[in-house]
Structure 1
């Protein structure tokens, strides 16, 4: 893997408490968003936008597995992630792990996240983070990324275009 590659191998835990790796997500496209369950605005907005885009794809959405990887594993246990996702975004599979495991996958995807003091938060901190969604192909190789500025319709159009590309094409 070159230093510019995005993605890679990981060993995490899904929101049902089951160990998973990137190999468990091969065979379908994966649409990955990094965030955390205590996020007040960015994550709920992004998860809703991604869910709406998948709704717009209709049956084509079956080719995409949406994943939500935490940047705050200290608070985001499998149970917390399961409750968060099932109550608002049931299409997503949440992934968590040890701080070292999360930092490794964050680095592999070049995701920014840092802990900052927040006196308004019950635990006293917030986790500002980047807000890109990453599309991985069925072999879990990087295909594209999408900024948070795309609305659901434009995201659906971009995903539809990627799904239509031949498997060997990564342009």
Structure 2
């Protein structure tokens, strides 16, 4: 993704129903994953991997706020996001919003997601999406992205390197 601007300003709603912008997350690194609560495999696996990596970071994890941004705002209300995250992935803040706000966020991060018909799904559709994890510095500037295939231990080492190299987000 070299040469392509990643990230930017946003206005969304967190899973507590409060309006938030990127400024709410400045001061800490942000680890961002895009997905949806009805995802059966990719999202639960990614959220678990990210959570395990943060556990391995121990106290350094205090410098990182993981964010889970929906690609399915029609189903993922703040209440649905909160119920989905609270029990299994409590470190995460879920972010949702209107279709236009989510589309702007997806576009800013170059995230692919599309609604496809799925007769086996009770809602009649699924949302295939890209599965990268993005790291933003404490000024909410893009630092790195990590593939879904990266193991938790590898992600931990990458995050540790980023935290050590740019502890305050400066260059």
State the TM-score bracket (shorter-chain normalisation).
over 0.9
- Is the aligned partner of 1:89 residue 2:89? yes
- Is the aligned partner of 1:151 residue 2:171? no
What are the equivalent positions in structure 2 for 1:95-114 lying under 5 Å apart? 95-114=95-114
CA distance in 2, matches of 1:73, 1:20: 15
CA distance in 1, matches of 2:55, 2:129: 26
Scaled by the length of structure 1, the TM-score of the pair is 0.96
For residue 170 of structure 2, what is the aligned residue in structure 1? 168
Over aligned residue pairs, what C-alpha RMSD do you find? Answer: 0.8
String of CA shifts for 1:25-77, please: whole Å, max 9, x gaps. Answer: 00000000000000000000000000000000000000000000000000000
For residue 136 of structure 1, what is the aligned residue in structure 2? 136
Q: Between Structure 1 and Structure 2, how many residues are aligned?
A: 167
What are the equivalent positions in structure 2 for 1:71-82 lying under 5 Å apart? 71-82=71-82
What are the equivalent positions in structure 2 for 1:40-55 lying under 5 Å apart? 40-55=40-55
CA distance in 1, matches of 2:102, 2:49: 24
Q: How many angstroms does 1:87 deviate by?
A: 1.9
CA distance in 1, matches of 2:86, 2:170: 35
The list of structure 1 runs, each at least 4 consecutive aligned residues, that deviate by more than 3 angstroms after superposition, is: none
Structure 2 unaligned spans of 5+? none
Scaled by the length of structure 2, the TM-score of the pair is 0.96
Q: How many angstroms does 1:168 deviate by?
A: 2.8
Partner secondary structure for residue 34 of structure 1 = strand
Structure 1 unaligned spans of 5+? none
For residue 59 of structure 1, what is the aligned residue in structure 2? 59
CA distance in 2, matches of 1:38, 1:154: 27
